[in-house]
Structure 1
Amino acid sequence: MISRYSEFLNYYKKSMNSIKTILLACILGIVLGCSNSKSENGTKEREDHTALNFEQKAKDLVAAMTLEEKVSQMNYESPAIEHLNIPEYNWWNECLHGVGRAGRATVFPQAIGLAATFDKNQMSEISEIISDEARAKHHEFASRGKRGIYQGLTYWTPNINIFRDPRWGRGMETYGEDPYLAGELAVRFIKGLQGDDPNYLKLVATAKHFAVHSGPEVDRHSFNAEPSPQDFLNTYSPHFEKVVKEAGVYSIMCAYNSYQGEPCCGNKDLSSLLRDNWGFDGYIVSDCWAIKDFYNEGAHEISGDAKEASAIAVKAGTDLNCGDSYPALVAAVQDGLITEAELDVSLERLFVARLKLGLFAPEGAVKYENIPYDVVDSEKHRLASLVTARKSMVLLKNQNNTLPLDKNKIKKIAVIGSNADDLEVLLGNYNGYPTAPVTPLEGIKQKLPNAEVTYSIGSKLAEGLPVFEAMPQSVLFTNGSLKTEGLKAEYYDNIAFEGTPKHTRIDKTVDFTWRTNPPFEDMRYDSYSVRWTGILSVDKTGNYALGGEAFSSMKLFLDDELLMQRQDVHHPKKIYEYVKLEAGKKYKIRFECVQNNTEHAIMRLLWESPKENLAKEAISNAKDADVVVLCMGISPLLEGEEMKVKVDGFSGGDRVHTKLPKTQTDLIKKIIALGKPTVLVLLNGSALSINWENDNVPAIIEAWYPGQAGGTAIADVIFGDYNPAGRLPVTFYKDINDIPAFSDYDMKGKTYRYFKGDPLYEFGYGLSYTSFKYSNLQVQEVIEAGNDVRVTVDVENVGGLDGEEVIQIYVQNPNADAYNPHKTLSGFDRVSFKSGEKKTLSFNIDKDQLSIVNNKGEKVVQPGTYQLSVGGSQPSENRIKNGTVITKEITISGSPVKI
């Protein structure tokens, strides 16, 4: 510590000859001298450190930097500043439903599946698990000197945008269409991530994307959102306000689009709303390369260059840049576009965050650094993933009690569908990599060890999307003689294919997943490159899909021409191109992959060969089976973030319509025509218009992208080892033409709060294997405007099975105008019941849930008569009659009250 202080002081004596700077250096020497070091008096040192004011320490740090150093720290890739003992730091990390893109991790259901649990307590549990794994992984990385992307403690999660339109490809990353549900779940998730230590943050959570952002993906860099005051305050902002005020979220990510004519990352009104109105005291980070949209042609084009754009963004409160625009801030200061003092404001926020994370704390000061690495994807965490997946399952239809199936009576079962045995649909996007994932096929096999389980794909998921498999050794050869099967593999111990390969061998196929172990013991697991070369020759002329999958970068060459490449490690997915190959012709093939700074390596050379009749085998299997399970839906290869998808029905990651692809519906109809007991399992991230299927398939389960234990959870529901209780967090419309255009950001006509039509399945819908009855609703009939409402109700499990019930409270405002919701979720809870058990439950409805927004943009509670309902779903005449929903009128008295 003494030597580091001396070096630091000498540096400043030489470089800045002023008493003020020398004093500052002394302060910084004391503050930073203990950073990440051991002390003879460790306990006293820790006490001194936590007693110091983070804000003052941040000011001291920033004041000691040069302009160039300051600017360097405002980029997501922040380099080390050695003379200040500031280590390198990368701000980019993801944990949407488990620690993402950093190798091994427990993978929970995709966020839309988490929303379907309607379970706040479960959100707390899984976020604590995720943050445990995040902390453990960070400290393991840091112990090896690794401080790159996906290795820090600042997480760009959760995505709490409203899933206002089912066509949006990224809607699966959200908590659904209702701001109250999204806010309640996000508060629990964020608190679990950020921890409960009074001095230090466990992680930094980031609520994104602020504001009014939900597709279309193709327009996100240029779209200008101009919602009405009613829509902004009723739908687009309340959950953001809630996570600021109730969860203390420490970071906000601004969106790509413009809001009211100004890019969100350069919008002073939005940052003022956050800081001045809501009390947000963290930092704002740009969405990735969003600042470039300020000056890129065809985007917002509000500035001439990076220098001007960066100055606008920082002046508007965007403290951190994910991208490469902010280095231009040096010239921006020199040219007078922004002052160094204005940069200091952002820098101090960023360094307070790093200090609160304990990144400069002495060893032992932060309790979270003691979390052992063996918690990562541990048995306990795998069980939590299974429990969560079970809770996310929504039973949509169960005609004549088709489910649960009796596993003791089944001798032969046919599992059919592209999603039955696909890891991709378990993991969704923004995911990590579990060590023991279970697909639906595997889950059913494990459930029926004594039955015959057959599997067939049956159809492509969609026309134009290949059915991938590893390119077989029978078509790969080391040279033109075609005598030796496989490709020549050259393994380099660097990422640039430099020098002589460390190892050379023949690989029969290229289908590798290496975790923390490299291909060879004498190579680093996170820094190598591999080149496979040889000949591709097929025995049948036709159109073949050639593709690959790799976590880092990859390139595929055919006859020395680049066929495809992917260098984006941020969205690792399979890529492919269709090419015509002639039988007997010898094609030179070269496949290159680079593993760079990550612990999980995927290197797969994939293809799809021409297949004449996928349905034939499926129909044959179904004819011979006692029961059929169809695993259908969509895929993260079709819906997601700004994707280059060449498939009918999909565009840029979004969807054109909400029907199942025709390839699947054609197959489903053929299977149903056989008259076999059939269960349809949907794996997807967004609503589906399965009208024919709802009319003709006896049992339907919505499974989402269910995480690593999804197959087990699906089998548990099918065979009755778990009683489903999930609810839809989005409306399933009968037809996409039932709602306004995708690009229309007016809420009128969209989501259950504004939709006046007849949906296929409404928000909050879900069935159970047991039945619940509601009675004795107690609520004060006259409430003064501005007061909360207290509700109690008796709920009884009147069925023959134990189960959970999602109790939902809705408030209907018959007097609401077209700009305010006519109905809104105002309370919910997920409660378990034994068969025959009765419980009295209490709820508090916040006055905010009774409010509307007037034409002045004011939130007010208006006097009048309201309809309040409590039940397992939205109210309807039949549900009220059979006691599954109970209602009561309440009167709000007095004068209108602003809130």
Structure 2
Amino acid sequence: MPLAAALIGTAHAATPASPEQRAAELVARMSLDEKVAQLQSGAPALKRLGIPAYDWWNEGLHGAARAGYATVFPQAIGLAASWDPDLMHAVGDVVSREARARFDAIGAGRDHGRYEGLTIWSPNVNIFRDPRWGRGQETYGEDPYLTGRLAVSFVQGIQGPDPDHPRAIATPKHFAVHSGPEAGRHGFDIDVSPHDLEATFLPAFRAAVTEGRAGSVMCAYNALHGTPVCADAGLLDDTLRKHWGFTGYVVSDCDAVDDMTQFHYYRPDNAGSSAAAIQAGTDLDCGYAYAELGTAVRRGDVPESVLDTSLVRLFATRYRLGELGTPAATPRPMDDKAHAALALRAAGESLVLLKNTHDTLPLQGTPRIAVIGPNADTVETLEANYHGTPRAPVTPLQGLRARFGADRVTYAQGAPVASGVPVPVPETALRTSDGAVGLTGHYIAGVDLDDAPRVTRVDRTVDFDWDHVSPAGLPKGRYAVRWTGKLVPPGPGDYILAAHVERCFDCAGHDPVRLFVDGKPLIDDNGDDTHTQATLHVDDSRPHDIRLELVHRGDDQGVRLQWLPPASVQLAEAERAVANADVTVAFVGLSPDVEGEELHVDVPGFDGGDRTDIGLPATQQALLERAAASGKPLVVVLMSGSAVALNWASEHARAIVAAWYPGQDGGTAIARLLAGDDNPAGRLPVTFYRSVRDLPPFASYQMKGRTYRYFDGTPLYGFGYGLSYTRFDYAGASVTTRTLRAGQSLSASVQVRNSGERDGDEVVQAYLSYPSSDALAPKRTLVGFERVHLKAGETRQVSFTLDPRRLSSVDAAGRRAVVAGDYTLFLGGGQPGQAVGDTVPFHIDGTQDLPK
């Protein structure tokens, strides 16, 4: 029996040792060099102690990620738009079950590489303070309370009901005060006030730890007031462990400790930075900086006992997970149908109806529909970032064809996402040699393109995510694909063609790709991304022979055949599609190609994954205006990870739906909403501003002027906003007492009635407004919400219990307390002044300080 499995403690032979006792006994047998190796995320095997290799890095933001087929739910910001903690718990449950099944397929006690373990680095509970931040899509929005409630449910779903035997470990991130800009994130020093820190940036983390009982926390890249947070003992020891009672382990964001040396200049070398980080409470380094901890110990920067403390936390976690020393388990069968059904439910619940004049939606009868826009038929705008590989993704175009009939739907791409950003070549421009839509794909089981194909099929487009999977049923491993057919340009002009390969992160070797047009090589990229675009000039719409070849001999993750056609040609094509339709549905917005984590994109309106302009990109704005000029009803479906200032659309479109990045079955969910099969009930988790002129400077972390809590202007669409196909009325708001003493809880209730003719969900929201004497308090803040289903004509009483923390405010020094004064509580379908509801006043006597 391996030693790691045999260690049971010696003090009480009759009593099983705790995970901490077993871990301490194991760590005591390690040499210094072995300890140092185990403090890095890619921990190697220690065969003499029976310890298998274990990579702590795994992702599960909105589905088990980056390791093959998995259920892909809507991106986190879309999940937040559901305002449904029960849904979040169910999603977290599926994430961990699929991660556990992947782990069990290898077996406990065996080596597990990256994305194969049970330590999941999610959720992202940073506050989405500014819509320009490209990673805001990974969060639950701008409100601390909503973020905290959803985080608690997601963490509990991942970890399961038994804290002694968690199904997996959740890791709220990035602790703390982290929300862009991406370009400076590795060395950014944030000057945040004590008030904003306590009132805005810490509450969601506190809830995830104190209520969710998260087993891990990730510290961020940035510094606070000159101290990198991964070396901030005030945060990691005082706040996290002493005040919040955290007993798990802290992991750094990837290479954050090295950033302390390279960009923060906090210490002159990684030995010094590593010593500072581990003494402050960062137990595990994602990266390689902790490799210098041996040097740090030997020169006296840190005692070896500090390493032991972190190692006991880490190995106790591995024991608690059953990762060490237990027999290999038989993988539990996955209910893929149930998981897919949950993904569809999540997508449906995430959709937010923003506008619906003249009851344009749901679409009536059997209309002829023109589907246009760059996001109508792309896989990447379903998946967002940090995703798994869906088995059968359904794009909006496919969803509408399935629901309304392919013969009732015409399609034209119409525009790219933004000027200079290629998009997948649409099916309208691809034909096989016999005239079918798409290209003929020849799939070869091996890397020799001269071999006979194992599978030959027609692919409608070349837009594939093959991360850790092999296509077309080929054996897992190396393969090659050749696509042949015709490129049919919609008109004359210069076309930029691109062969985009999703490159793997931190791996050796990449997949070469070659593109031929009319038998001539146009792109020949050997995997270094230096020759992935070329310009093709055409004088007419004559078809051109096309051949695309991909050889998968590395760890790259998929391929897209992309283009940038002449704008006038695309607009004319869209105009023809609209002319033959009764209604136009335009799928516009952003994409993971332009908003995300530290992207290499520099085109107008975008900067390194962030945005410099929150308006709809000009290419898409021109498309909407061309479509509207027809006089046909225009329905806009916004697909994005953040708020977009749809000012023109709010004036001219008949209906607007925010669909976010909706996951694997997003196309089906959108079609069901447009058809009226589902009644929309999503609510905005962020404010939709009208312009960047409404916002403070992006780099300023001062909350004044940001989010619905501190914004003094009039938003385009407010936080908590969303329409329905039915109508809800409110009456009878009441509280248990109109006067209470500080420190007491307050119960409130309101009657909500579905006064319309359709069954539907309503999100009942409770907002607290503070005494006028409290100059630092927000204008209002969310203190309760509940998503309820009401049949047509049904009335229900919805109740909330507001504990002292929800009735509290924060002073300039960061002290949280319940203070005396006159308050009002609004109970309704959104914010006061923006939704129907009922208000009740009450008074608090005295003052009660609250713990951090």
TM more than 0.5: yes
Name 1:356's counterpart in structure 2. Answer: 320
Is the radius of gyration larger for structure 1 or structure 2? 1
Cα distance in structure 2, aligned partners of 1:699 and 1:472: 26
Name 1:63's counterpart in structure 2. Answer: 28
Cα offset, 1:453, TM superposition: 0.8
Cα distance in structure 2, aligned partners of 1:621 and 1:50: 75
Match among 658, 662, 665 for residue 702 of structure 1: 658
Partner AA of 1:31 in structure 2:
L
Partner AA of 2:819 in structure 1:
Q
Name 1:136's counterpart in structure 2. Answer: 101
Cα offset, 1:30, TM superposition: 2.8
Cα distance in structure 2, aligned partners of 1:705 and 1:202: 27
Cα distance in structure 2, aligned partners of 1:202 and 1:182: 23
Partner of 1:83, secondary structure, is helix
Spell out the pairing of 1:401-440 with structure 2 (5 A cutoff): 401-406=359-364, 408-410=365-367, 412-440=368-396
Spell out the pairing of 1:744-823 with structure 2 (5 A cutoff): 744-779=700-735, 780-815=737-772, 817-823=774-780
Any gaps of 5 or more consecutive residues in structure 2? Answer: 433-438, 505-509, 516-520
Cα offset, 1:137, TM superposition: 1.6
Match among 242, 251, 256 for residue 276 of structure 1: 242
Equivalent pair of 1:209/1:255 in contact (CA under 8 Å): yes
Cα distance in structure 2, aligned partners of 1:311 and 1:455: 59
Cα distance in structure 2, aligned partners of 1:77 and 1:550: 23
Cα distance in structure 1, aligned partners of 2:840 and 2:451: 76
Cα distance in structure 2, aligned partners of 1:175 and 1:615: 36
Q: CA RMSD in A?
A: 3.5
Partner AA of 2:137 in structure 1:
M
Cα distance in structure 1, aligned partners of 2:298 and 2:708: 53
Q: 1:778 to 1:188 in 2, by over 3 A?
A: same
Partner AA of 2:347 in structure 1:
A
Q: 1:475 to 1:293 in 2, by over 3 A?
A: farther
Q: 1:859 to 1:249 in 2, by over 3 A?
A: same
The answer as to 2:708 corresponding to 1:743 is no
Name 2:499's counterpart in structure 1. Answer: 547
Instruction: Report Cα offsets for 1:528-547 as digits up to 9, x if no partner.
Output: 3769899x999998452423
Equivalent pair of 2:752/2:797 in contact (CA under 8 Å): yes
Q: 1:519 to 1:757 in 2, by over 3 A?
A: closer
Q: For structure 1, which segment, 254-263 or 824-833, has the greater mean C-alpha deviation from structure 2 after superposition?
A: 254-263
Partner of 1:374, secondary structure, is coil
Cα distance in structure 2, aligned partners of 1:144 and 1:673: 65
Instruction: Report Cα offsets for 1:177-216 as digits up to 9, x if no partner.
Output: 0000000000000001001125211101000001100000
Cα offset, 1:888, TM superposition: 1.1
Q: 1:450 to 1:557 in 2, by over 3 A?
A: closer
Partner AA of 2:253 in structure 1:
D
Spell out the pairing of 1:500-899 with structure 2 (5 A cutoff): 504=451, 518=470, 525-526=476-477, 528=478, 542=494, 544-550=496-502, 552=504, 553-555=510-512, 565=527, 578-580=533-535, 593-596=552-555, 602-604=558-560, 606-608=562-564, 613-779=569-735, 780-815=737-772, 817-876=774-833, 879=835, 884-899=836-851
Q: For structure 1, which segment, 610-619 or 191-200, has the greater mean C-alpha deviation from structure 2 after superposition?
A: 610-619
Any gaps of 5 or more consecutive residues in structure 1? Answer: 6-27, 34-46, 477-484, 494-500, 568-574
Cα offset, 1:388, TM superposition: 1.1
Match among 295, 303, 314 for residue 331 of structure 1: 295
Cα distance in structure 2, aligned partners of 1:652 and 1:639: 8
Q: For structure 1, which segment, 389-398 or 557-566, has the greater mean C-alpha deviation from structure 2 after superposition?
A: 557-566
The answer as to 2:79 corresponding to 1:122 is no
Partner AA of 1:525 in structure 2:
K
Name 1:38's counterpart in structure 2. Answer: none
Name 2:353's counterpart in structure 1. Answer: 395
Cα distance in structure 2, aligned partners of 1:554 and 1:50: 55
Cα offset, 1:579, TM superposition: 3.6
Instruction: Report Cα offsets for 1:24-59 as digits up to 9, x if no partner.
Output: xxxx673289xxxxxxxxxxxxx9999321111000
Cα distance in structure 2, aligned partners of 1:547 and 1:247: 44
Instruction: Report Cα offsets for 1:246-270 as digits up to 9, x if no partner.
Output: 0110111111110121111111111
Q: 1:49 to 1:472 in 2, by over 3 A?
A: farther
Name 1:340's counterpart in structure 2. Answer: 304
The answer as to 2:135 corresponding to 1:170 is yes
Spell out the pairing of 1:304-315 with structure 2 (5 A cutoff): 304-315=268-279
Q: For structure 1, which segment, 543-552 or 164-173, has the greater mean C-alpha deviation from structure 2 after superposition?
A: 543-552
Partner of 1:815, secondary structure, is coil
Partner AA of 1:887 in structure 2:
T
Cα distance in structure 1, aligned partners of 2:483 and 2:795: 68
Q: 1:474 to 1:793 in 2, by over 3 A?
A: closer
Spell out the pairing of 1:186-335 with structure 2 (5 A cutoff): 186-272=151-237, 273-296=239-262, 299-335=263-299
Spell out the pairing of 1:23-62 with structure 2 (5 A cutoff): 30-31=6-7, 51-62=16-27
Q: 1:588 to 1:518 in 2, by over 3 A?
A: closer
Partner of 1:850, secondary structure, is coil
The answer as to 2:49 corresponding to 1:84 is yes
Equivalent pair of 1:311/1:338 in contact (CA under 8 Å): yes
Cα distance in structure 2, aligned partners of 1:353 and 1:808: 38
Name 1:384's counterpart in structure 2. Answer: 342
Cα offset, 1:492, TM superposition: 5.7
Q: 1:184 to 1:445 in 2, by over 3 A?
A: same
Cα offset, 1:518, TM superposition: 4.7
Cα offset, 1:817, TM superposition: 4.2
Cα distance in structure 2, aligned partners of 1:102 and 1:688: 32
Cα distance in structure 2, aligned partners of 1:689 and 1:894: 44
Cα offset, 1:155, TM superposition: 0.4
Cα distance in structure 2, aligned partners of 1:165 and 1:891: 34
Cα distance in structure 2, aligned partners of 1:637 and 1:791: 45
Cα distance in structure 2, aligned partners of 1:589 and 1:132: 38
Q: 1:512 to 1:455 in 2, by over 3 A?
A: closer
TM-score normalised by L of structure 2: 0.89
Cα distance in structure 2, aligned partners of 1:132 and 1:77: 23
Cα offset, 1:304, TM superposition: 1.7
Partner of 1:842, secondary structure, is strand
Q: For structure 1, which segment, 725-734 or 610-619, has the greater mean C-alpha deviation from structure 2 after superposition?
A: 610-619
Equivalent pair of 1:492/1:503 in contact (CA under 8 Å): no
Equivalent pair of 2:423/2:562 in contact (CA under 8 Å): no
Equivalent pair of 1:748/1:818 in contact (CA under 8 Å): no
Partner of 1:804, secondary structure, is strand
Equivalent pair of 1:538/1:581 in contact (CA under 8 Å): no
Partner of 1:210, secondary structure, is coil
Q: 1:789 to 1:645 in 2, by over 3 A?
A: same
Name 1:44's counterpart in structure 2. Answer: none
Equivalent pair of 2:361/2:676 in contact (CA under 8 Å): yes
Q: For structure 1, which segment, 133-142 or 718-727, has the greater mean C-alpha deviation from structure 2 after superposition?
A: 133-142
Q: For structure 1, which segment, 345-354 or 193-202, has the greater mean C-alpha deviation from structure 2 after superposition?
A: 193-202
Cα distance in structure 2, aligned partners of 1:70 and 1:656: 45
Aligned length: 821
Q: For structure 1, which segment, 125-134 or 256-265, has the greater mean C-alpha deviation from structure 2 after superposition?
A: 125-134
Cα distance in structure 2, aligned partners of 1:303 and 1:712: 53
Q: 1:818 to 1:216 in 2, by over 3 A?
A: farther
Cα offset, 1:469, TM superposition: 3.0
Equivalent pair of 1:538/1:582 in contact (CA under 8 Å): no
Equivalent pair of 1:223/1:257 in contact (CA under 8 Å): yes
Equivalent pair of 1:470/1:511 in contact (CA under 8 Å): no
Partner AA of 1:638 in structure 2:
V
Q: 1:502 to 1:519 in 2, by over 3 A?
A: farther
